Amino acid sequence: MTEAQDPPVQRTAIVTGSGRGIGAAIAARLAADGHRVGVIDLREEDTAETVEAINNSGGKAVGVGADVADAGAVEAAVARIADELGAPTILVNNAGILRDNLLFKMSDSDWDAVMGVHLRGAFLMSRAVQAHQVQEKWGRIVNLSSTSALGNRGQANYAAAKAGLQGFTKTLAIELGRYNVTVNAIAPGFIETDMTRATAERVGVPFDDFVKHAVAEIPVGRAGTPADIAAAASFFIREEASFVSGQVLYVAGGPRA
């Protein structure tokens, strides 16, 4: 006869950029795993669909509008989620934007905007949430990197930011480990989202052709989905993953060199 297992502990998670796409899928998965979810996107109205889907499925979510590159907005968002859902001890830094261009065409604002959302945003959110994690002596941070961290034409800003997130991840893992906080990163490959659709439009390729070309290079023979990334995030956040920290998991349908 097997011993009955204790039910999973319900915690409060924050997922940035979770109004749609990968972020929405992660928020839904964490809610299904039993956690309360703070859904953050640039405008509160952008969070409505994700929040409604979670609440209608029996979960608990609140939506907050915040620019993750704005320190004051981040502090206010985290404080509101703590007040409404409880101390946030899970953070998924997913918010991201694209400002693709070749280096000689890339503007200062193209560079600064991408660095602001991806790197400054992850820094500000992590700094705000780690105060709760340290107090609770438990925490999980998952940062969304990308296979573009290995280099990608027309994405000097995005690639640099995503590579920076990997170094950020490993450093936080060292600093926060003593408080029972793990920090890991996921580097998605080609995932079918609104963002990849926008990339296809930018390069002037029909989206179906864009996907077909990408899939031809993927060993498992299909494009990724937001649910694939959500599953990886769910793993990192589990109690059973407490000895996994400072890692970068490439979720790309095969090795990427």
pLDDT tens, 116-133? 999 999 999 999 999 999
d(CA 138, CA 88): 10
Q: Is the pTM here over 0.85, yes or no? A: yes
Q: How confident is the model at residue 6 (pLDDT cuts 50, 70, 90)?
A: low
Q: How confident is the model at residue 2 (pLDDT cuts 50, 70, 90)?
A: low
Mean pLDDT of 156-164: 98
Give yes or no for a contact between 129 and 14, defined as CB atoms under 8 angstroms apart: yes
Measured torsion, CA atoms of residues 158, 187, 17, 162, in degrees rounded to the nearest 10: -30
Is residue 136 scored above 80 in pLDDT?
Answer: yes
SS3 40: strand
Mean pLDDT of the chain: 96
Which residues carry out catalysis?
A: 158
Of 61-70, 203-212, 232-241, the range with the lowest mean pLDDT is 203-212
Of 27-41, 83-97, 191-205, the range with the lowest mean pLDDT is 191-205
Q: Determine the pLDDT at residue 257.
A: 46
Q: What is the pLDDT of residues 45-63, one digit of tens each?
A: 999 999 999 999 999 999 9
Is residue 1 scored above 50 in pLDDT?
Answer: no
Is residue 188 scored above 90 in pLDDT?
Answer: yes
3-state DSSP of 200-220: HHHHCCCHHHHHHHHHCCCCC
Is residue 167 scored above 70 in pLDDT?
Answer: yes
With b for 16 or more beta-carbon neighbours within 10 A and e for fewer, the 164-187 pattern comes to bbbebbbebbeebeeeebbbbbbb
Is residue 73 scored above 60 in pLDDT?
Answer: yes
Q: Determine the pLDDT at residue 195.
A: 86
Measure the N-to-C terminal CA separation of the chain; round to a whole number of Å: 47
Identify which of 40, 231, 201 has the alpha carbon closest to the alpha carbon of residue 117: 40
d(CA 27, CA 20): 10
Q: Quick one: tokens of 66?
A: 């915040």
Q: How confident is the model at residue 98 (pLDDT cuts 50, 70, 90)?
A: very high
